[in-house]
Amino acid sequence: MTPQRIKHYRLREKLGEGGMGVVYRAQDEQLNRSVAIKLLSGKCSEDPKAVERFHREARITAALDHPHICTVYEFGDFADAPYMVMELLNGQTLNELIDGWPLELDKLLDIAIQVCDALAVAHDSGIIHRDIKSSNIFITEHGVAKVLDFGLAKLCKKDALGLANAVGPLSALVPSSSMSIPGLAIGTASHMSPEQATGKELDSRSDLFSFGVVLYEMATGALPFQGLDATQILQAIVSESYRQPSKLNPNLPKELDRIIGKVLQKDRALRYQTLGALKADLVKLWQDFGGYASSHEVPPPRAESKTASCRSSCTTAIRRPLESRVGWCRPPARCGETAQHI
């Protein structure tokens, strides 16, 4: 039975539900503000691994105090079920914003630079996200990007080059009906780095590759590596090439082709080594197009446009109006899962 309140939080409405739990809109009656509460429920609340993942997500996210990372206010247990209190976000995921269409260049660069800032803070804190994808990036109604879901994140140590390296071996996947490979790697198949896809030890450059997949999505509306199932997708990531973004979206500048090509290098030694280096090239590209003031550390929030033109060389289409969605992120995963669905 769903509680009506948790401590001084009154639950208002359900925002999302998954096999692992439920997310509610709630009212903080002490501070008189709306929040989102994620409840781990059912069998998951009795699963030590699920509870530990939930607590790890809360601790890591709460430690990363940054405007482009969803804020965790509190977490604890209520009636033997873990809960997490977070800021309530209005908007939609980046995956919903893309919706199969390329984004305008200035919007793409704006979002990309914000996400670079967020991930750089995580890496500087010795944390690898391990599940960067467009559905784990939320865009508020004011155009502010928020990185979500640190449930698969790994606390790491820094090597001599300053790269965050995962401590200990990767855990095996829990078999599921999703497009994933049991016993091989952790994450989402479509956004895994080659080293992640082959179960190797990870460092922060794995997140850069995953973010490169997101950049490709924003530039083209499509994924760079595709297949009928997770096995085919991972094979493509490890050994196959992809079509240059400008082949799918001719209006893209060649410099963006170069940037995406570098971040999607299969050999991590050939990629950007840090988010700062990637951000520098993105900022320069935006400056070249007159869209970024170099005095700004973080781009100012941009209001969402109700319509946007399709960047095709021969056609123009009106995108459907952006739906205003409320929530902190997608519904929780299935109980016991250590890997996310594609």
pLDDT of residue 252: 95
- pTM of the complete model: 0.78
Catalytic residue among 131, 149, 203, 207: 131
Q: Judge contact between 150 and 144, C-beta under 8 A.
A: no
Kindly list the domain boundaries of the chain, sorted by start residue: 5-89, 94-323
| Residues contacting residue 262 through CB under 8 Å, at least 6 positions apart | 270, 271, 272
pLDDT of residue 2: 66
Q: Which helix (H) or strand (E) holds 137?
A: strand 137-140
Cα separation of 17 and 333, whole Å?
Answer: 9
CB atoms within 10 A of CB 75: 20
Cα separation of 117 and 168, whole Å?
Answer: 27
Q: How far is CA 152 from CA 11, 144, 186, 201, 336, in A?
A: 27, 23, 8, 15, 12
| Residues contacting residue 135 through CB under 8 Å, at least 6 positions apart | 93, 94, 95, 330
Cα separation of 39 and 76, whole Å?
Answer: 10
pLDDT means over runs of 10, the chain (342 residues): 84 82 92 93 81 86 91 89 92 96 96 97 93 95 93 71 48 31 67 93 94 98 95 95 96 96 97 97 91 47 35 29 40 45 35
pLDDT of residue 265: 97
pLDDT of residue 323: 37
Q: In what order do the strands lie in the sheet with 137-140?
A: 145-147, 137-140, 90-93, 325-326
pLDDT of residue 158: 59
72-78 and 90-93: which strand pairing?
unpaired
3-state secondary structure 31-73: CCEEEEEEEECHHHHHCHHHHHHHHHHHHHHHHCCCCCECCEE
Could you tell me which CATH class the domain 5-89 is placed in?
alpha beta
Cα separation of 53 and 50, whole Å?
Answer: 5
127-128 and 81-87: which strand pairing?
unpaired
- DSSP state letter for 166: E
Cα separation of 332 and 33, whole Å?
Answer: 23
Q: In what order do the strands lie in the sheet with 9-17?
A: 5-6, 9-17, 21-28, 33-40, 81-87, 72-78
pLDDT of residue 161: 47
| Residues contacting residue 133 through CB under 8 Å, at least 6 positions apart | 95, 188, 190, 191, 210, 213, 214, 340
Q: Which helix (H) or strand (E) holds 211?
A: helix 205-220
Angle (CA) 166-168-173 rounded to 5° is: 90
pLDDT of residue 273: 96
- Is 110 a known active-site residue? no
- Residue 23 corresponds to which amino acid? V
Residue 169 token pair: 């071996």
The CATH superfamily assigned to 94-323 is: Transferase(Phosphotransferase) domain 1 (1.10.510.10)
